[in-house]
Structure 1
Amino acid sequence: MDCKHVIVPTDFSETADRALEYARALFRSDTCTFHLLNTYTPAIAHSRFMATSLHGSLMEENVQTASEQGLQQIVDGLLTKNANPLHTFKTNSSFNILTEEICNISDINNLHLVVTGTTGASGLQEVFLGSNTVRILKSAQECPVLTIPPEASFAPPKQIAFITDYKRNFNATVLQPLLDIASAYGSKIRVMHIKEEQELNKYQESNKSILSEYLSPLSHTIHEMPYYGSKAKVIQHFLEDMEIDIVSLVHYKHGFLEELLREPVIKKVIFHTNIPLLVLPE
């Protein structure tokens, strides 16, 4: 069986630790290499007051040491407690921007998934998804991303929602991470479409048929939901009614996810649930 490669960014917060635990549990039966990633950049607010470049260099060395030691402590803990012989860990400490380093790692490895917590060490619960998570979703166009809310705990996903407007076509590569999870756990996929129009046009009908073909080996159902002003609220009600364990969608440029991101109510609704969000790249 091929080894999966999963990137787990960490800022050493409890939220990041939870995301890692979720990832390990999700892939507990898979041969998997987890790339634990911590990136750091100079604190501009402080470095501008440094008297010499030497001070700046020392600061960078101290941050690098703390980063490397923090990552190694995580690995040491994983290897001494609840170790899984199918799992290996690599540490990546980098003086770089987070999203760029994720792309660097994914270029070298056959990346399966990025798993990230939705808030970081700042603990700001009202920060939408966490600024780093939003950057990852927007910039990692070729990386599937699974975001883990702070209060989420792993349970085998019995119900997976797939939200779509049928306005773009589908292919096996895009859907593969979703299909893999559903296949591994015997999950039921609940396809949800918010009905803004009276009828689907021919292109949407074609995309709907193509999607059904890809999902045909798996248990799945199609759901048409009425639109009543807020897509986020429609989604929230659907997730609750269907007892969804993971919600998924495809991230198209100028597509459904970006539309949701612009909706003010989103901060209070969908991403403040305890349901992980699987974002698939176009």
Structure 2
Amino acid sequence: MEDKIITIATYPYSRAQLLKGRLEAEGIECFLSNINMVQPGISTGVKIRINENDAGRAYKIIEEIKGEYGTAKQKTVDRLKEVRRILVPVDFSEASLNACNYALGLAHKLKAEVKLLYAYYNPVISSEPYLETDPYQFNFEGTVGNLEKEAKQQMKSLKLQLEEFVKKEKFTNVKVSYVLDRGEPELVILDYCEKYNPGVIVMGTKGAGEVAFDIIGSVAKKIIEKATVPVFAIPHKSVYIGINYINKILYATDFDDSDYKAIRKLMNLVRPFNIKIYCTHIASDAENTFDNAKMESLEQYFSKEYGDVNMVCDLIENEDVLEGLENYIDEKDIDIIAITTHKRGVFDRIFNPSLTKKMLFHTNIPLLVFHS
């Protein structure tokens, strides 16, 4: 069932951003509408919109903010900063560096900070690198202390390299920091994600082969399945050429209730971009009454909530969902594929080995995955 969305308040842009950050920090999903996309800072009638079920808590928070000043107000500002965080697990490979470049471009657009995370290998336990085909980065005959020292040196070198990239691209106010931890990458990433509370995780991916189920290496796939925040997975062939070249996003829907939640998160991430969104469903019969009714409902939702965004809703007829997506991606020259992880959905069909062994899939298009 479609969520009922209401406008909880209307403020100038800066205050709307402040309230949005506070609400999200309290676990209330929200998004902004009526923003001047050319100069958002001058927007005066920005609407803060939420699920009607959260209205009671949201009104209480608004009243609290009205009474805040001094130290209390600064805490609210700090909460806003918390949701402008990008976590980037790295392993010093080329694919990992490429993902860092994407993360920095995204941080520039979102006015976010970037936190690099490296889980260095512990020889006492079994582990695996993020990118299965790349060799381990260290000589593991040394002690854990030596491993940590070498990891820190490599991380410092990577940080300097990325700071030079920020200067070259003229990204303003993009802060890069890092953290090291020992243990299995999957556990380290998920544990730190809980502490850091990022708005999105950006990961480079590279598998053992070229078929679709190998695009997402085992570590990245586990993070996508278990993380509660969006994951931006960057295939190693998707070489970064500039954040402004990302113009077209395909949102693949199965008409699940989680669509509305995912769409709100998607819009929060892509608002600063000049984006065209293609909402697409692959069906065996494009004339199916149920599918057409569902797509019409989504189209009306888009029009009502995001009338200022360029959107296209399409039903594509194809017996094979992967083939249908592949043809559509080629036809529309898609830059990013956005999907949700709900069971038996598009995500499962793309990464189910029994299906994807049969064909090659796009290994050069980033995936933005939302947890249902």
Interval containing the TM-score (normalised by the shorter chain): 0.7 to 0.9
| 3-state SS of paired residue (1:184) | coil
SS in 2 for 1:146: strand
Deviation at 1:86, TM superposition (A): 1.3
For the residue of structure 2 that corresponds to 1:29, the secondary structure is helix
Equivalence map 1:25-64=2 (5 Å):
25-43=105-123, 59-64=143-148
Structure 2 counterparts to residues 102-121 of structure 1, below 5 A: 102-119=189-206
> How much does 1:79 deviate?
2.7
Q: Distance in 2 between matches of 1:35 and 1:176?
A: 24
Distance 1:192 1:102 in 2: 32
Aligned position for 2:232: 146
Residue 27 of structure 1 deviates from its aligned partner by 2.8
Q: Deviations over 1:162-195 (max 9, x none)?
A: 00010334344x3344213432112110011011
Q: Percent of counterpart pairs with the same letter?
A: 19
Equivalent pair of 1:35/1:89 in contact (CA under 8 Å): yes
Question: In the superposition, relative to structure 1, how do residues 169 and 30 fare at CA in structure 2: closer, same or farther (>3 Å)?
Answer: closer
Alignment of 1:165-204 (within 5 A): 165-172=254-261, 174-196=262-284, 198-200=288-290, 204=294
* Residue in 2 that maps onto 1:258: 348
Question: Could you tell me which amino acid in structure 2 is paired with residue 67 of structure 1?
Answer: A
Separation in 2 of the partners of 1:88 and 1:148?
21
Could you say what secondary structure the match of 2:96 adopts?
helix
**More displaced stretch, 12-21 vs 254-263:** 254-263
CA 1:255–1:34: 2 relative to 1, 3 Å: same
Once the two structures are TM-superposed, the CA of residue 81 in structure 1 deviates from its matched residue by 4.5
Any idea what SS the aligned residue of 1:137 has?
A: helix
Residue 136 (str. 1) matches residue 223 (str. 2): yes
Please state how far the C-alpha of 1:100 moved relative to its aligned partner.
2.8
Cα RMSD for the two superposed structures: 2.9
1:9-65 per-residue CA deviation (whole Å, 9 max, x = no partner) reads: 111000000010111123323322211011134346899xxxxxxxx9962222222
Question: Which residue identity does 2:235 align to in structure 1?
Answer: P
- SS of 2:108's partner is coil
Give 5+ residue unaligned stretches, structure 2. Answer: 1-16, 18-79, 128-139
Counterpart of 1:37 in structure 2: which amino acid?
A: L
1:68 CA displacement: 1.7
Question: d(CA) in 1 for partners of 2:300 and 2:186?
Answer: 32
Distance 2:278 2:355 in 1: 23
Q: Which amino acid in 1 is paired with 2:90?
A: T
Higher relative CO (Cα under 8 Å, sequence separation at least 6) belongs to 1
1:236 Cα deviation from its structure 2 partner? 0.7
Question: What is the distance in 2 between the residues matched to 1:92 and 1:233?
Answer: 41
Mapped partners of 1:256, 1:244: distance in 2: 17
| Residue of structure 1 equivalent to 2:177 | 90
Which residue is equivalent to 1:75?
A: 159
Identify unmatched segments of 5+ residues in structure 1. 48-55
Equivalents in 2 of 1:186, 1:46: separation in Å? 45
TM-score normalised per structure 2: 0.64
User: What is the distance in 2 between the residues matched to 1:115 and 1:133?
Assistant: 10
1:92 shift after superposition: 1.5
Structure 2 residue 224 is matched with structure 1 residue 224: no
Which of 18-27 and 206-215 deviates more?
206-215
Partner in structure 2 of residue 52 of structure 1: none
Aligned to 1:160: 249
Q: CA deviation at 1:149?
A: 1.4
Structure-2 separation of matches of 1:73 and 1:101? 21
- 1:26–1:154 contact (8 Å) kept in structure 2: no
Number of residue pairs aligned between Structure 1 and Structure 2 = 267
Matched, 1:13 2:101: no
TM-score by length of 1: 0.82
Larger Rg computed on CA atoms: 2
Amino acid at match of 2:89: P
* Structure 1 equivalent of residue 368 of structure 2: 278
Aligned with residue 249 of structure 1, among 339, 344, 347: 339
Offset of residue 271 of structure 1: 4.3
SS of the aligned residue for 1:87 comes to coil
Aligned equivalents of 2:236, 2:205: Cα separation in 1: 7
Give distance in 1, aligned partners of 2:177 and 2:218.
25
